Amino acid sequence: MLAAEDLAQDIFLKIFKSLNTFDRRANFQTWLISVSRNLCIDHYRSVRKERETIDRDVDANALSPSSHDPGPIAALEQRDRVVLLRRALAELPRALRVAVLMRDIQEMSYHEIAGTLGLPEGTVKSRINRGRTELARHVRRLRGNESTSPGPQREPQP
């Protein structure tokens, strides 16, 4: 909206400064529209040129964030997520927790986990699947408990 207001002001200034060039034999409305139209065209051409110049001159790969450190709020949220995940993991039965940690944290293959635990691969896959399901359930429950504890209130998750 501000650009439109600025453009309208420029049009009024241009018309005021150019009144002495108006031929009184011509239609004033036609001259007014012509001056306004030409100024708008000039404005949009300059804006387009600015965009094209910026698009050509800036290499997105060369840009870097002003800081690589997360902001304080992001750092707090990350810490809260880690604490919540650790609490939820602690509530899993040991067999499920070990399988999930080996797969999702240590990034071991099913074959490697089966060899380490001395279990069939199918059993490992089953434990990991059950462990992830239980972990998600514990996280949801713990989040629900957080919203009833003192401190900032959070909206319930659907």
Higher pLDDT, 30 or 124: 124
* All structural domains of the chain with their residue ranges: 2-54, 73-148
How confident is the model over 69-126, as pLDDT tens digits?
777 888 888 889 999 999 999 999 999 999 999 999 899 999 999 999 999 999 999 9
Contacts of 101 (CB under 8 A, 6+ apart): 89
The amino acid occupying position 75 is A
Listed residue (75, 89, 90, 138) closest to 146, CA to CA:
138
Neighbouring CB atoms inside 10 A of 40's CB total 14
Listed residue (52, 54, 73) closest to 63, CA to CA:
54
What CATH number belongs to 73-148? 1.10.10.10
Q: What pLDDT, on the 0 to 100 scale, is given for residue 129?
A: 95
Q: Which two tokens stand for residue 60?
A: 């997105």
